[in-house]
Amino acid sequence: MSTLIACVGEGKGTRSHVARLIKAGEWNQVFLITKDSTEKGITPNNRVIAIDMEKKIPELAEEIKQKLKGKILDTEVALNLVSGSGKEHMSILAAVLKLGLGIRLVSICNDQIVDLSFEDWEKKLADELNIKNE
């Protein structure tokens, strides 16, 4: 179990991806970073961090960092950036790295969490699903 940080944009498809990722994992904590201040979250146990997209990337990174500071006890986080914009992604990455946290890029594929940081994730997933690559 680890902490998941996910960017949640406006698209329904990407929101669905994040919801499936949350459901598939056993997370200590889930932080959803969004520009929508009315966001209620995807599950009852996630924490929504609303950000001000009018800010420039360095200011936005500092805002995210301050909102996450002291809330993550792990040394690394699972990070999902399928949803959102490049500006959001850069800011989230900068904030997480400034907090001194390691990152594992995660996604969901065939209802299984895929750690994209893992060197042979395609092979690992195929082996788990008994798929032969020929």
Domain that holds residue 22: 3-128
Instruction: Tell me the mean pLDDT in the region 1-26.
Output: 88
Say how many domains are in the chain.
1
User: How would you classify residue 74: left for phi > 0, otherwise alpha for psi between -120 and 50, otherwise beta?
Assistant: beta
pLDDT tens-digit map of 71-117 = 999 999 999 999 989 999 999 999 999 999 999 999 998 888 988 87
How far is Cα 103 from Cα 57, in angstroms, rounded to an integer?
19
For the record, the structure tokens of 90 come out as 């850069």
CATH of residue 26's domain is 3.40.50.10770
- Asked if residue 44 belongs to a domain, the reply is yes
- Asked if residue 133 belongs to a domain, the reply is no
- What's the pLDDT band for 128 if we cut at 50, 70, 90? low
Q: Determine the pLDDT at residue 134.
A: 46
